[in-house]
């Protein structure tokens, strides 16, 4: 008895969902599983692993695995390697599926059948789903599912996954225990067949076909002979052409489809850019401002929770740990949730409709000049609101190296958390209310421009370093436009947001508690907040790094603020209030608080009696925060998205060094030029 059959008799059958990108596979997965799904990563890689439970015809549970979209079983990316290894039972962490649901886009059936025929040759029971049949009909493509099913000897089911049409028929097929495996066997060219006879022991056709895709002598020989590879591809397409004869009919007349008409607008050399600018503007406004009210609501709720704990518990370390460590840490996680939800909702709408690929297409030429992919634009734009959802948005970038480059440079975008730092420094540089507003706005705009320059410069550099080998030409498939499935969009939005809270949240909470402890211990009995801060571990660390930050124009108190603001950049302002003994006033608004802090800054002196917060020092601080990775949430998300501590540590080091050198040049260069 096999290992699989020796398990529990009631164990649900396992179906793998397979298809090309943009085939509607994930929409079908969401329609079949609803909320009965979980998202994680495959061990060792950043490829998303989605599993769920579908319900069969008789109410029985069926395990469903949504495998990454791929074009071929001959892998060219980590996604395609996962697909191949799961279908061939080569992964230890996931069993070989009992059956396969292969989804193809009916409007591009011939092209999608390339992967489908490879899958059918593996000999597993398979259901072929013809998705988007309504779009095929509007494009005057006639498909006869019964003829195609007869040729392939498997069930072929027409489907409109975004409208849930065809789901009952699919559930009936999934419940069949006599589900057939296709007998499809595309003849191999003679020279390749002879090569397999020599190097491959197993003579079964399924095993011979599998040998063409798995590492080994046969695959090595194919990789060394491009002519053989081309012959294989040509032979398969010839066989697909024969399969389609009589079962898939296209109107040979020149038909202008809805997709063609929409592309004439969305990809227009003039109107396309206007529409793109409007869409990106709406996205940015919604992420930046649309999330503001719910974020304030979350902060208010946690403020009330902290107040309740403060009133209910006696003063002491335990109360402080709960209010300043745990509650503040959890708040630091959930406060980003509205922005993340909004971002992924809009990305889901654009992705499901087919517009996201058009955005990448429009921007690819410009972005590629600085070493970025066209799809990098939306994550980078989102990062100006917050790098956390921006970095999570890089999941739409298929190439791992393009995705990594985008992740590494995204935090240079001046996010909303930098604004409090910029605001207090600008009002300190320009203390007079008579200074024109344009001067203050111009300085703020310069900080945004400086961060943008950092994105482009380091993207170009990383592109050169990480892509040493000549990259293959970028081929971008433009999918058919379709009405987004709200159910699918909401499901994707929730899955990705929930993953952030669960994974990144634990890291952020831990860092928040550590920073609280560093600012709390050792205790100085009877000391005010400023003295306690100076004598704490963080304060002592600030004193110890003073020789390092002094060339930037800082003293130990600013050093403490930089250390404390690793939790979040905006913490710098509250840390400065403590270090400079600025008391919080009840019902004081943010503007009044900043004015009070500015006054204290202007009164502060160095040990030699000279002013501490000169315009040059303030500018140095602003430039430091433009480039520094002062955000525990970002570090946690980069760890989550890259599946390694290697890249967040590298990112923290290189951005900190860049920030230090830039601030050093500003301060010391300014002094040499006679500025103060």
Mean pLDDT of successive 10-residue segments in the chain (676 residues)? 46 91 85 71 62 88 90 82 88 88 90 92 92 83 88 90 82 91 83 76 70 76 76 89 85 72 91 89 78 83 88 88 78 74 84 84 84 84 81 79 92 83 84 65 85 93 72 64 83 74 66 77 79 81 90 90 80 75 52 72 86 93 94 88 91 97 96 87
CA distance 46 to 43: 8
Angstrom CA distances, 582 to 537, 579, 594, stand at 21, 8, 10
Going by C-alpha positions, the residue among 552, 518, 539, 573 that lies closest to residue 624 is 552
* Full-model pTM: 0.68
The one-character DSSP state at 413 is S
Give the N- to C-terminal CA distance of the chain in Å, as an integer.
Answer: 83
Angstrom CA distances, 572 to 545, 558, 662, stand at 16, 9, 19
Angstrom CA distances, 2 to 7, 65, 86, 523, stand at 9, 21, 18, 65
For residue 371, with 0-12 CB atoms within 10 Å meaning exposed, 13-18 middle and 19 or more buried, which class applies?
A: buried
What's the pLDDT score for residue 633?
83
Q: What is the dihedral of CA 440, 444, 450, 451, to 10 degrees?
A: 170
Domains located in the chain, CATH noted: 12-255 (3.40.50.300), 257-290+336-676 (no CATH)
What's the pLDDT score for residue 46?
52
Please name the residue ranges forming H helices in 121-204.
133-138, 145-152, 167-174, 190-199
Q: Please tell me whether residue 56 adopts helix, strand or coil conformation.
A: coil
Whole-angstrom Cα Rg for the chain: 29
CB-CB neighbours of 151 under 10 Å:
17
Angle at 518 between CA 512 and CA 521, to 5 degrees: 130
Question: The dihedral of CA 487, 490, 496, 500: what is its sign?
Answer: negative
For residue 185, with 0-12 CB atoms within 10 Å meaning exposed, 13-18 middle and 19 or more buried, which class applies?
A: middle
> Between β-strands 48-55 and 37-41, what pairing exists: parallel, antiparallel or unpaired?
antiparallel
What's the pLDDT score for residue 374?
82
For residue 10, with 0-12 CB atoms within 10 Å meaning exposed, 13-18 middle and 19 or more buried, which class applies?
A: exposed
């Amino acid at each position: 008895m096999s290992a699989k059959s020796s398990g529990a008799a009631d164990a649900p059958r396992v179906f793998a969902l397979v298809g090309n990108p943009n085939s509607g596979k994930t929409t079908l997965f969401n329609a079949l599983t609803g909320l009965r799904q979980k998202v994680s990563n495959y061990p060792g890689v950043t490829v998303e692993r989605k599993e769920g439970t579908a319900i069969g015809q008789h109410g029985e549970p069926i395990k469903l695995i949504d495998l990454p979209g791929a074009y071929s079983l001959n892998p060219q990316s980590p996604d395609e390697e996962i697909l191949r290894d799961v279908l061939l039972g080569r992964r230890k962490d996931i069993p070989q599926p009992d059956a396969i649901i292969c989804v193809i886009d009916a409007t591009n059936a011939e092209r999608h059948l390339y992967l489908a025929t490879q899958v059918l040759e593996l000999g597993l029971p398979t259901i072929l789903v013809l998705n988007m049949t309504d779009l095929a009909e509007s494009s005057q493509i006639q498909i006869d599912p019964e003829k195609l099913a007869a040729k392939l000897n498997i069930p072929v089911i027409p489907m409109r996954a975004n409208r849930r049409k065809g789901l009952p028929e699919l559930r009936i097929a999934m419940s069949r225990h006599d589900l057939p495996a296709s007998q499809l066997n595309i003849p191999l060219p003679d020279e390749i067949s002879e090569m397999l006879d020599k190097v491959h022991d197993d003579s079964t056709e399924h095993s011979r076909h599998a040998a063409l895709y798995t590492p080994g002598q046969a695959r090595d020989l194919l990789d060394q002979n491009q002519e053989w590879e081309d012959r294989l591809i040509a032979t398969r397409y010839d066989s697909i052409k024969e399969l389609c004869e009589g079962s898939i009919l296209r109107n040979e007349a020149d038909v202008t489809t809805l997709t063609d008409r929409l592309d004439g607008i969305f990809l227009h050399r003039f109107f396309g850019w206007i529409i793109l600018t409007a869409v990106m503007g709406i996205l940015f406004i919604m992420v930046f401002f649309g999330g503001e009210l719910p974020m304030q609501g979350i902060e208010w709720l946690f403020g009330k929770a902290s107040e309740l704990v403060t009133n209910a518990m006696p003063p002491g370390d335990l109360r402080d740990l709960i209010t300043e460590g745990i509650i503040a840490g959890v708040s630091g996680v959930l406060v980003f949730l509205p922005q993340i939800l909004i971002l992924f909702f809009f990305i889901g709408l654009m992705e499901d409709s087919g517009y996201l690929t058009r955005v990448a297409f429009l921007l690819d030429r410009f972005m590629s000049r600085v070493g970025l992919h066209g799809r990098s634009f939306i994550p980078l734009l989102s990062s100006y609101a917050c790098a956390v959802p921006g970095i999570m948005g890089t999941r739409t970038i298929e190439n791992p190296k393009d995705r990594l480059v985008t992740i590494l440079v995204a935090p240079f975008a001046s996010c909303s958390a930098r604004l409090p730092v910029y605001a207090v420094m600008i009002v300190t540089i320009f203390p007079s209310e008579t200074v024109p507003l344009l001067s203050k706005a111009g300085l703020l705009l310069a900080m945004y421009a400086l961060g943008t320059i950092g994105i482009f410069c380091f993207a170009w550099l990383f592109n050169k370093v990480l892509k040493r080998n000549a990259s293959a030409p970028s081929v971008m498939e433009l999918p058919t436009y379709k009405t987004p499935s709200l159910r699918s969009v909401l499901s994707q939005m929730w899955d990705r947001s929930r993953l952030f809270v669960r994974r990144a949240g634990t890291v952020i909470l831990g860092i928040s508690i550590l920073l609280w402890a560093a600012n709390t211990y050792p205790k100085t009995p009877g000391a005010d907040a400023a003295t306690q801060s100076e004598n704490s571990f963080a304060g002592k660390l600030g004193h110890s790094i003073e020789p390092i930050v002094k060339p930037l124009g800082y003293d130990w108190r600013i050093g403490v603020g930089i250390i404390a603001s690793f939790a979040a950049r905006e913490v710098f302002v509250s840390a400065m209030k403590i270090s400079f003994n600025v008391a919080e006033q009840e019902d004081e608004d943010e503007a009044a608080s900043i004015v009070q802090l500015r006054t204290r800054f202007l009164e502060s002196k160095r040990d030699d009696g000279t002013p501490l917060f000169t315009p040059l020092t303030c500018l140095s601080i602003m430039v430091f925060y433009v480039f520094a990775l002062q955000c525990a949430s970002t570090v946690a998300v980069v760890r989550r998205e890259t599946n390694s501590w290697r890249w967040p540590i590298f990112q923290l080091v290189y951005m900190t060094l860049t920030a230090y050198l830039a601030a050093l040049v500003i301060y010391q260069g300014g002094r040499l030029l006679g500025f103060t």
